[in-house]
Amino acid sequence: MIVKGGFLIIVAGPSGSGKSSLTKLMLENFKNLDFSISCTTRKMRNGETEGEHYNFISANDFKSMINENKFLEYENVHNELYGTPIEPIRDSVKFGHSVLLDIDVKGAYSIMNTNHFDCCSIFIKTPSIEILRERLITRADLTEDQINKRINEAKNELKKSTYFDHLIINDDLNDAFNDAKRIISSL
């Protein structure tokens, strides 16, 4: 399936909602769709690859990029810096592609409130907070305290879901992907 070019397709939602799983399926199934690789100061997790999942950089390098206006947006999330480099997005849009962003809710909100690009924003959520907690526990890479902080943050993020163009409840990944296909096909 080919995506109409020139759009930023923003996928955001609480940690553990399934954003990364959904964006992976989208990239595998859509042509003309480039992935925006965010920069972060956090450490690489098991299974992640530099330059594929994130660009892992030092706090000093991140601050230099801020000073040089190299980010479309950047945020402090869970005590780490995350940012969306603007130049690769400009290049993709010039080439006639759309760009998929898998970012946090604060970053998505920042981008949606600028006039830089045409955006389609999709908020991903689980059917309940209890299911979200189960998913975070299953990941087995967070402490109980970190899980509780992410659940509290998720409750705040869910309040911002009304600002997004679309809402997908990720109870089943295939159903969520079919919802995303319908949304992207309508661009």
- Tell me the C-alpha distance between 6 and 11, whole Å: 16
- Tell me the C-alpha distance between 14 and 108, whole Å: 12
The answer, yes or no, to whether residue 18 has pLDDT greater than 90, is yes
How far the first Cα of the chain sits from its last, in Å, is 13
Class of domain 7-185: alpha beta
Residues 6+ apart with CB under 8 A from 18: 124, 126, 135, 170, 173, 176
**Chain segment 120-175, per-residue pLDDT in tens:** 999 999 999 999 999 999 988 899 999 999 999 999 999 999 999 999 999 999 99
Residue 116 pLDDT grade (very low, low, confident, very high; cuts 50, 70, 90): confident
Cβ–Cβ < 8 Å for 7, 119: yes
Q: Output the pLDDT for position 136.
A: 96
